[in-house]
């Protein structure tokens, strides 16, 4: 590990060792299903993880950045449903709690919030372009500011001309995807 990376990691470790009075971070994951073919059956399980990554370091695989620190959130989203006639379903919600505030990365490193997930999409025979599949994925979102309160994100399943899009967005009204996490006041 490079010297500046080691120094940066020490700064992150000190920030994460803040006293218990520092506010921990809660990630609220909302969900949205829109324009998905009726009768499609979807199962999803997701968790949350915060990581500090050295983009120039060597990970366990070639051309993979090195993870120098991670913190698992408690909680899990387990959601199974069949899409109704309107192409949608009732939303689900999950909260992931981190025991420490999540901080932005020092210079030279990246902080990311990851949502490791597994999902399965089973399409009805009447929807040939639906795109049935089973995947193990990790949706990653760059953390550009210290996150010390409640933060929201949205797991989306959206139907379209090229099948079903699955991804993370800042809220359940924005289909473009998440650029960075923004803290919102706790309620």
Judge whether 52 and 108 are in contact, CB under 8 Å.
no
Judge whether 156 and 172 are in contact, CB under 8 Å.
yes
Q: Which of 159, 132, 138 is nearest to 34 (CA)?
A: 159
Distance between CA 121 and CA 136 in Å, rounded?
Answer: 12
Give 175's pLDDT tier (boundaries 50, 70, 90).
low
Q: Can you tell me whether residue 154 is helix, strand or coil? A: strand
The pLDDT of 105-117, averaged and rounded, is 92
Distance between CA 42 and CA 57 in Å, rounded?
Answer: 37
- Beta strand 150-160 with 133-142 is unpaired
112-116, 131-135, 163-167, 181-185: least confident range: 181-185
pTM assigned to the model:
0.78
Give 61's pLDDT tier (boundaries 50, 70, 90).
low
């Amino acid at each position: 590990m490079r010297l500046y990376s080691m120094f940066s990691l020490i700064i992150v470790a000190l920030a994460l060792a803040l006293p218990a009075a520092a506010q921990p971070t809660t990630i609220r994951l909302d969900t949205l299903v829109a324009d998905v073919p009726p009768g499609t059956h979807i199962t999803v399980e997701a968790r949350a993880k915060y990581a500090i990554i050295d983009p120039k370091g060597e990970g366990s695989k070639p051309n993979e950045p090195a993870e120098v620190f991670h913190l698992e959130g408690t909680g899990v989203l387990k959601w199974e449903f069949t899409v109704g006639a309107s192409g949608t379903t009732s939303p689900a919600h999950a909260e992931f709690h981190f025991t420490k505030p999540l901080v932005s990365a020092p210079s030279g490193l990246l902080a990311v919030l990851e949502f490791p997930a597994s999902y399965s999409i089973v399409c009805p025979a009447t929807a040939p372009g639906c795109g049935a599949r089973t995947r193990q994925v990790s949706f990653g979102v760059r953390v550009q500011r210290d996150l010390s309160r409640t933060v929201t994100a949205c797991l989306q399943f959206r139907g379209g001309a090229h099948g079903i899009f699955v991804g993370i967005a800042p809220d359940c009204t924005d289909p473009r995807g998440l650029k960075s996490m923004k803290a919102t006041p706790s309620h």
